[in-house]
Amino acid sequence: MHLFVQEKGAFIAKHQGRLRVMKDSERLQEAPLLHLQQVIVSGGGISISSDAIRACAEEGIPIHFLSFSGTPHASLYSAGLTGTVLTRRAQLRAYDGPAGVHLARAFTQGKLQNQANFLRYIAKYRKETNPELHTILTSVATEVADSLHAVRHAAGETVDDLRDTLLGIEGRYAARYWSALALLIPDSLGWTGRETRGARDPFNQALNYGYGILYKQIEYAIVLAGLDPYAGLLHADRPGKPSLVLDLIEEFRQAVVDRTLVGQVNRGWTIGHDGEGLLDEATRKRIVEKVLERLESTEAYEGKRQPLRHIIQCQARHIATFVRGERPAYTPFVMGW
């Protein structure tokens, strides 16, 4: 169970084993702590009591804060989750050696393969209804083989030696991926290409908000695995930049967010805006519901079908065991099609 709060002026309090959301004298929502997985607070003007924060910390329930555009601001969870040291020491040592190179390659390969598999997934349903589109999508998907070959053979002894090469390969294929995906976005959305921060068109805004929700799931999984979310490999270090979150999220963007939102707009879903040109409340609520719903759906993983939420946690733990030397290799998650 998830608690999503976005109403300005709302107050989140603890009441008899539950979290209760009030605005003025109206009860907006109520959720039992026993069944609550997380709290997501979107936007400003929302308050939360210290009792509610303590209760969530004691029950292992994270509280995530996002802007109206989906930019992650902060998370609250038990301080004990960051008390592990051995894994973090191993993670930092990995940066300067072959383990770091292995992980950087794996993150890149995972992203490329998932982009290609998502295009194949879309194409297979259009083989009969739209053969021309099927041909275009499968053609772009097959290009990933050349990219993967380049990733495997990129020269470099350290992450710093490889980073620019890997990001260059990733960027070139990403341009092909988004150009192919553009053929599926309804003309009414006026989508001209991928934009991140500051996007004003509805589909990019929806993608950015969806990625913000996914970002917090990835960050929490990394913390639970005993890793430092700010000590990444493929993404360069920078103060305040959660590089490892940005590394691991690349394996899951297509399976969780792209697939969900492309499916929604192709079913006729209307992305609503408020008076300031941002996503309206109903749209943000729907994105949260659909992304979290997708996280509970299953994918083939390690010999059986498992929920994507569980797969994310397993992948974070696999990074931890790999850098500690308890796992011979790290294999990225690749979605089926």
- Domain edges within the chain: 2-61, 86-323
User: How far, in Å, are 104, 171, 174, 276, 312 from residue 108 at the CA level?
Assistant: 6, 10, 11, 37, 16
CATH number of 2-61: 3.100.10.20
Residue 298, beta-bridge partner list: 307
Cα 321–Cα 327–Cα 330 angle in degrees, nearest 5: 85
Among all chains, which residue has been given the structure tokens 């936007």? Answer: 43
10-residue mean pLDDT profile of the chain (337 residues): values are: 95 95 95 95 95 94 93 88 83 95 96 96 94 95 89 92 95 94 92 88 96 96 94 90 95 97 94 91 96 97 96 97 97 95
Residues 6+ apart with CB under 8 A from 293: none
Bridging pattern class, strands 2-5 and 38-42: parallel
The per-type count for the chain, helices as H runs and strands as E runs, is 11, 10
Which pLDDT does position 209 carry in this prediction? Answer: 96
Closest to 279 measured CA to CA, from 163, 225, 175, 200 = 200
Q: Which CATH superfamily is domain 86-323 in?
A: CRISPR-associated endonuclease Cas1, C-terminal domain (1.20.120.920)
Residue 307 burial (10 A CB sphere; 0-12, 13-18, 19+): middle
Question: Looking at residue 79, what is its pLDDT?
Answer: 78
For residue 243, count other CB atoms closer than 10 A to its CB. Answer: 18
Beta-carbon contacts of 244 under 8 Å, excluding residues fewer than 6 positions away, are 91, 222, 227, 228, 229, 230, 231, 232, 233, 235, 319
pLDDT value of residue 83 = 63
Tokens coding 183: 């053929």
Instruction: Kindly report, residue by residue over 52-63, the tens digit of the pLDDT.
Output: 999 999 999 999
